Chain A
Amino acid sequence: MIRLKNLTKIYGGITAVDNVSIEVGAGEVCVLLGPSGCGKTTTMKMINRLIEPSGGRIFIGGKDVTEVDPVQLRRSIGYVIQQIGLFPNKTVEDNICVVPDMLGQDRKTSRKRAAELLEMVNLEPAAYAKRYPKELSGGQQQRVGVIRALAADPPVLLMDEPFGAIDPINREVIQDEFMKLQAAMKKTVIFVSHDIDEAVKMASRIAIFRSGRLIQYDTPDNILAHPVDSFVADFVGHDRTLKRLRLITVRDAMATEPPRVTPDDDVDTAVALMKRHGHVSVVMVGPQGKVLGFVRLEALHGKRGRVGEHYEKLTSVVHVDDNLRNAVSQMFANDQSWLACVSTEGVYQGYITQRSITHLLGATYRDR
């Protein structure tokens, strides 16, 4: 969708962007990451020609952007900046419709679309459409800033540290909202950031810059697992393997079709089952497969009767769609070496252990 070819920008002898080539597929989020002054913002601004390249070419959908009128080009690309830049003299609704109005779209249609977009970021249109920017909180303003870029439904979105000025709690919320929007709209996004956590969370691919050069362009997991040099390794942090946990869902790490017992099973059956699997405990489920608790091999030693008389409550379970970071956090919080994984209805799906997680994280090193 977007292709940068040998892109270069020279400012009076200083090379700000040096021979950068990147390809971004349709619907992907490409995060340009690096310390300040590394050329990431300059690279982004060349895409909508706010900065003219000194060399190289830029293609959007196969078309060279230097052959398009810059004003027309910018109207066809969504643009979000850190300082938001809502026009204080226009209502929220009119701010959102700036580009549709410039394109001469029907007012009624564009206002209706604005209301839909407001709803998508949890701002009640009846309450917010006619307000002015200064009547909104910072987080609300940036939500409007983001949907303003989407109003004319451009295929490409450029975002310059859009959530950098928002407090950490709101930032997480607005990032999640944006990911939801993105899942629905599938825009091709170029996203500038200096925050590795944000990049790992949002990116399909991360491009790491240093002094105008593209150092590494890869998926977040590969960047974290295999940084190409010490600069990238330092930039992503010494705890980079922990950051990978967020990229993997419980579903991908859990052991499926696990052994299980019911309250009516005989104690001997449970003991035999655990011994056969080499486990020291087993989950007890109800009639619909819902997790009720678990029994320990040790606790059943020398006991008779039914499993239901000897089970213990589980202190925590984890949802299969949760990420491993949260799963591990639960394990540490509850001093557990394993967790039962459940569906939204609470049905037992499988289990994860600390060992299986470390094994999974290590796979990428063994395969090479």
Chain B
Amino acid sequence: METLNFAIANWPQILARGWEHISLVGVSVSIAVFTGVPIGILITQSRVAADRVLYAAAIIMTIPSIAFFGLLIPVLSPIGHGIGYLPAVIALIFYSQLPIIRNTYAAIMNIDPALREAARGMGMTAFRRLREVELPIALPVIVNGVRNAVVLNIAIATIATYIGAGGLGVFISRGISQTDPRQLITGAVAVSVLAIIADLGLLLLQRRLTPVGLRQP
């Protein structure tokens, strides 16, 4: 009850922090799509490259987020952005790579080789094959990777409050330092709600982007 009263009283602040959170995740994942999808497509050309890239992306995932943010402080300090929005977005871009690259790669590798054979035999160029056949078929799986990245980043962005990037994590960190369960619960619930809405929204998008000929009846 007390938590609810707190949430109602601080509603504008929750919205403002929520917006910061969405901005962090939205900007980082959007950029990550433009790096991850092309990388995922490129590594289908070489088994060795694929193994290495996927391994590297997996290692990045294992770095604790708080350590990653810390590592970026000396790197970005020279340009005056050691803490705040920029390092948070950069870290989140890195964390998004694995799900996006992995899904793009897997989706394209899983396409029936007969389609590639037919496309080649009929005189499609590699680019045309990608545009007309491979990407449309791979799209739902790629969007699924983006969905994973978004949900993952909504959680990780909570930690970004410790480097002054704001977001809903502010309530949680304050709740811990001030031993104030009202703030702690408000922050946690808000993050969960955001994650669920984003997940469902992207699921709908994924269904919409599935080619009609591939939809399950």
Interface residues of A, Cβ cutoff 8 Å to B: 48, 50, 70-76, 79, 81, 83-91, 98-99, 102, 132-134, 148-149, 158
Contact = CB atoms under 8 A, between A and B. Distances in A.
Given A88-B214, A89-B136, 6 more contacts: A48-B121, A74-B121, A79-B121, A83-B118, A84-B114, A132-B212
A71 B118 CA distance: 13
B195 to A, nearest CB: 31
Contact of B214 (A85, A89, A148): A89
Among B118, B119, B120, B133: residue with most chain A CB under 10 A:
B118
B97 to A, nearest CB: 27
B2 interface: no
A75 B122 CA distance: 5
Contacts of B213: 88-91, 132-134
A132 B215 CA distance: 10
Nearest to A78: B122
B211 A89 contact: yes
24 contacts: A48-B121, A71-B123, A74-B121, A74-B123, A75-B122, A75-B123, A76-B123, A79-B122, A81-B117, A81-B118, A83-B118, A85-B112, A85-B118, A86-B118, A87-B115, A88-B137, A88-B211, A89-B214, A90-B213, A91-B213, A98-B122, A99-B123, A102-B123, A134-B214
A102 B136 CA distance: 17
Interface stretch (B124-132, B142-150, B166-174, B182-190): B124-132
Among B120, B122, B128, B211: residue with most chain A CB under 10 A:
B122
Contacts, number: 73
Nearest to B139: A89
Chain A interface, >50% SS class? mixed
Contacts of B214: 88-89, 134
A345 to B, nearest CB: 46
B133 A89 contact: yes
Contacts of B121: 48, 50, 74, 79, 81, 158
Nearest to B111: A88
Contact of A72 (B112, B120, B123): B123
Among B124, B128, B136, B137: residue with most chain A CB under 10 A:
B124
Nearest to B213: A132
